[in-house]
């Protein structure tokens, strides 16, 4: 690496360099040669990214990633990885490739993670071309997933391919995860963690504009107001007027109190909570969908509210859900009818498609972690500019690594202005630069001794 100081052994006369400095020099020469190949062979990189984009993997509708994942699995197998492939849902398999290091007990291991699904495409979107027929124009690769995030997958795969071509076997293990379902909260990454895949560090190659990022989290939830009895609408006058004598209520009207309570809590959070890099009030509670009532001739006996909650990197989804429940229980305790008809809560879910719920845990990046520092140096060494460490305004699968106790960071090409957009694109220059950085980082982290 250009900016890495020479290693010295204490006690050698005159600050004489140790044998490690010779190794470091050899590593630097190898990296310079390989990163030069990225520049020379960028047409091959673009062809790989275009190949991935051409697979039609929008979610929703999902259940369409088998062909794309077969291509990724074959790419990894041809480069020496042992591949594990399993269906998370029929038609949507995860692919995990593991390349064992030559000295895995002594050197650091890495997970490279990305999702193969892309945002949905509506029929009425005014694309200049077929979203899955990628093209390069004005220095940009255009196509659905170019920015989010098949560009990131392609760059990481290409870097791995160059290392393989050079006959380089890293001392540390490398695990490559191509997962499904990120766009619809299906957490293919969570399935990888539950399957036992772990490492000393994970890089999520999702959209970050080449910033090294953490993120807040998201959890969805359902709050239900339910009456123990159902009433004809003609009985309403007995519920709402003095002397009516009927202890009943409309679940829809009682939900109005719940929504007011959520607004009160959201304002409280905006004042009392903050996190560096986020604008005040980023932690929101969105009443997204409301469903209730059965017929115009009935008093509504049930009302369901679907909420989306954004929270900060230093919070957990369990803790945030608990705060909301406790606050709404206090709101309900002040209402005579709600006291006798308790609120019901259902949090999260495994799929926005299957059960209308999702969880994205938060991710805090430790800027002093040795892998984060190395990623910064890899960025600076390859591109000659300082790396930016900050927070993403959106969410990725990165939080699942934090939830599993695996240090991680988000680092990928593309920007959020292009993600999910009509004529989605990524800068060719940025894609090439990103591939250079990832090549350096994978190489050097795999040569980093364990303490």
The pLDDT tens digits for 57-94 are: 999 999 999 999 999 999 999 999 999 999 999 999 99
pLDDT score recorded for residue 4: 36
Predicted confidence band of residue 21 (pLDDT cuts 50, 70, 90): low
How far apart are the C-alpha atoms of 119 and 184, rounded to whole Å?
9
Predicted confidence band of residue 329 (pLDDT cuts 50, 70, 90): very high
How far apart are the C-alpha atoms of 339 and 330, rounded to whole Å?
10
**Least confident span in 4-8, 219-223, 432-436:** 4-8
- Mean pLDDT across the stretch 42-50? 98
Task: Look at residue 9 and tell me whether its pLDDT is greater than 70.
Answer: no
Residue showing tokens 């910064």: 376
Task: Look at residue 25 and tell me whether its pLDDT is greater than 90.
Answer: no
- Mean pLDDT across the stretch 366-383? 97
The pLDDT tens digits for 182-218 are: 999 998 999 999 999 999 999 999 999 999 999 999 9
How far apart are the C-alpha atoms of 304 and 291, rounded to whole Å?
5
pLDDT score recorded for residue 22: 59
**Least confident span in 157-166, 219-228, 240-249:** 240-249
Predicted confidence band of residue 348 (pLDDT cuts 50, 70, 90): very high
The pLDDT tens digits for 414-440 are: 999 999 999 999 999 999 999 999 999
Of 243 and 385, which is predicted with more confidence?
385
Task: Look at residue 2 and tell me whether its pLDDT is greater than 50.
Answer: no
Nearest CA-CA partner of 214 in 206, 225, 222: 206
**Least confident span in 1-5, 236-240, 302-306:** 1-5
pLDDT score recorded for residue 23: 55
Share of the chain above pLDDT 70, in %: 94
Sign, Cα dihedral of 121, 123, 127, 129: positive
Task: Look at residue 7 and tell me whether its pLDDT is greater than 90.
Answer: no
Domains of the chain, each with CATH number or no CATH: 13-212+363-446 (3.40.630.10), 217-359 (3.30.70.360)
- Indicate the average pLDDT of the chain: 93
Task: Look at residue 240 and tell me whether its pLDDT is greater than 90.
Answer: no
- Mean pLDDT across the stretch 251-272? 97
Predicted confidence band of residue 451 (pLDDT cuts 50, 70, 90): confident
Nearest CA-CA partner of 299 in 229, 243, 241, 244: 229
Nearest CA-CA partner of 411 in 243, 215, 256, 230: 215
pLDDT score recorded for residue 16: 37
State the pTM of this model.
Answer: 0.91
Residue showing tokens 């990454």: 189
Task: Look at residue 27 and tell me whether its pLDDT is greater than 80.
Answer: no
Catalytic site residues? 117, 182
pLDDT score recorded for residue 87: 98
Rg (alpha carbons) of the chain, rounded to whole number = 26
pLDDT score recorded for residue 243: 82
What's phi and psi for 171, nearest 5 deg? -65, -35
- Mean pLDDT across the stretch 298-306? 95
Task: Look at residue 358 and tell me whether its pLDDT is greater than 50.
Answer: yes
**Least confident span in 1-15, 48-62, 90-104, 433-447:** 1-15
| Paired sense of beta strands 285-292 and 302-311, if any | antiparallel
């Amino acid at each position: 690496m250009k900016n890495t100081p020479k290693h010295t052994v204490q006690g050698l006369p005159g600050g004489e360099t140790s044998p490690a400095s010779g190794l470091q020099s050899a590593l630097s020469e190898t990296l310079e040669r390989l990163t030069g190949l990225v520049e020379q062979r960028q047409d091959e990189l673009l062809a790989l990214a275009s190949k991935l984009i051409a697979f039609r993997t929008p979610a929703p509708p999902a259940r369409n990633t088998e062909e794309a994942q077969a291509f990724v699995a074959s790419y990894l197998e041809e480069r020496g990885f042992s591949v594990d492939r399993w269906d998370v849902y029929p038609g949507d398999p995860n692919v995990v490739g593991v390349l064992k290091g030559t000295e895995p007990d002594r050197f650091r291991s890495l997970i490279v993670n990305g999702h193969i699904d892309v945002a949905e495409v509506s029929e009425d979107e005014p694309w200049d071309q077929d979203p899955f027929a990628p093209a390069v124009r004005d220095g940009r690769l255009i196509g659905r997933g170019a920015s989010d995030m098949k560009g990131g997958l392609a760059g990481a795969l290409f870097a791995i391919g160059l290392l393989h071509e050079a006959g380089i076997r890293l001392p540390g293990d490398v695990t490559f995860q191509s997962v499904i379902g990120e766009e619809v909260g299906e957490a293919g990454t969570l399935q990888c963690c539950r399957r036992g895949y772990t490492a000393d560090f994970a890089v999520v190659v999702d959209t970050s504009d080449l910033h090294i990022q953490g993120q807040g989290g998201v959890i969805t939830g359902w709050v239900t107001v339910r009456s123990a009895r159902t009433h004809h609408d003609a009985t309403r006058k007995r519920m709402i007027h003095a002397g009516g004598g009927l202890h009943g209520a409309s679940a829809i009207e009682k939900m109005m109190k719940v929504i007011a309570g959520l607004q009160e809590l959201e304002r409280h959070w905006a004042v009392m909570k903050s996190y560096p890099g986020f604008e005040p009030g980023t932690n929101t509670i969105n009443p997204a969908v409301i469903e209730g009532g059965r017929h115009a001739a009935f008093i509504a006996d049930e009302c369901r509210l679907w909420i989306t909650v954004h929270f900060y990197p230093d919070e957990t989804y369990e803790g945030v859900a608990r705060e909301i429940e406790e606050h709404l229980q206090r709101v309900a305790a002040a209402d005579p009818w709600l006291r006798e008809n308790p609120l019901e809560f259902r949090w999260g879910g495994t799929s926005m498609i299957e059960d209308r719920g999702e969880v994205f845990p938060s991710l805090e990046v430790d800027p002093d972690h040795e892998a984060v520092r190395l990623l910064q140096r890899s960025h600076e060494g390859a591109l000659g500019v300082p790396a930016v460490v900050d927070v993403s305004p959106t969410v990725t699968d990165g939080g699942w690594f934090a939830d599993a106790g695996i240090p991680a960071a988000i680092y990928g090409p593309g920007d959020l202005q292009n993600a999910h957009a009509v004529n989605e694109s990524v800068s060719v220059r940025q894609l090439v630069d990103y591939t250079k950085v990832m090549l350096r980082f994978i190489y050097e982290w795999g040569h980093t001794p364990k303490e």
